[in-house]
């Protein structure tokens, strides 16, 4: 189960000494506040999506969002709108998204590195190298080929006689007794074609 939802936090509050309260009309009692709402996954803030702004009176405890302000309170509305525009969501409201982007970048880098390593192994086969191979497609089964001899552009291999249904058969199948006694040959070109076909 993925736990997600929304939350918010206070960002800033400024005093508004020049403004009078729309309810009790006392001057110098208003403060203007901006909050930031954000979406979270497992309580890690992912991305901010709204900035509610509120005017509050210290004297009569009245509070108004932009929509709730009476029409004649134009000065308060303008000041509140200006403060909202000038207020950014705190950086940590983006922290989940930053983590996801870093993970994606790391994944790209790691898979690029694996591909380079695989290409290097296939370009210079050595006795004892083991290749993971996908068995006839649809079954989604994987097995191993082991290099037993190399000669020029030709590689002599023995096939593992077992297959398992995940892409990491090395741990379970790499037992000398599980390999065929009969070897067969492939060219390095064959190997590269096999790699390109996945
Ligand atoms: Zn008031």
pLDDT tens digits along 66-112: 999 999 999 999 999 999 999 999 999 999 999 999 999 999 999 99
Question: What is the whole-number distance in angstroms between the Cα of residue 68 and the centre of ligand 1?
Answer: 14
As a whole number of angstroms, the distance between CA 38 and CA 5 comes to 9
Q: Domain residues of the chain, as ranges?
A: 4-97, 119-196
- Is 139's pLDDT higher than 80? no
Name the residue with tokens 């000669």: 151
The two beta strands, 63-65 and 179-187, are unpaired
Cβ-proximal residues to 112 (8 Å cutoff; 6+ apart), any chain: none
The pLDDT of residue 56 is: 97
Ligand 1: distance of its center to the CA of 54 in Å? Answer: 13
- Cα 84 to Cα 7, 14, 46, 64: the distances in Å are 18, 11, 21, 14
Q: Which two tokens stand for residue 194?
A: 């096999």
| C-alpha 66 – ligand 1 centre gap (Å) | 16
User: DSSP assignment of 12-57, as one string?
Assistant: EEEE-TTPBPTTT--BT-EEEEEEEEEEEETTEEEEEEE--EEEEE
Residue 61 alpha carbon to ligand 1 centre in Å: 6
How far does the centroid of ligand 1 lie from the alpha carbon of residue 57, in Å? 5
What is the per-residue pLDDT for 184? 95
- pLDDT at 119 exceeding the cut of 90: no
Q: Which residues pair with 44 in a beta bridge?
A: 41
Taking the CA atoms of 96, 97, 102 and 105 in sequence, report the sign of the dihedral they define.
positive
Task: Give the distance (Å) from ligand 1 centre to CA of residue 47.
Answer: 34
pLDDT band for position 137 (50/70/90)?
A: low
Q: Which residues contact 151 (CB under 8 A, 6 or more apart)?
A: none
């Amino acid at each position: 189960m993925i736990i997600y939802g929304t939350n918010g936090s206070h960002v800033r509050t400024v005093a508004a000494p020049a403004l009078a309260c729309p309810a009790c009309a006392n001057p110098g009692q208003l403060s203007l506040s901006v909050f930031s709402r954000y979406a979270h996954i497992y309580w890690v803030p992912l991305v901010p999506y709204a900035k509610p702004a509120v005017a509050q009176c210290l004297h009569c405890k009245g509070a108004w969002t932009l929509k709730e302000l009476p029409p004649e309170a134009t000065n308060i509305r303008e000041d509140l709108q200006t403060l909202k525009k000038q207020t950014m969501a705190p950086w940590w409201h983006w922290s989940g998204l930053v983590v996801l982007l870093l993970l994606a970048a790391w994944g790209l880098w790691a898979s690029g590195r694996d591909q380079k390593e695989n290409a290097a192994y296939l370009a210079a086969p050595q006795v004892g190298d083991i290749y993971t191979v996908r068995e006839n497609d649809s079954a989604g089964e994987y097995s191993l080929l082991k290099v037993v001899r190399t000669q020029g552009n030709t590689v002599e291999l023995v096939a593992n006689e077992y297959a398992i249904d995940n892409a990491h058969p090395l741990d379970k199948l790499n037992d000398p007794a599980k390999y065929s006694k009969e070897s067969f040959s492939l060219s390095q070109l064959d190997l590269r074609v096999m790699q390109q076909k996945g």
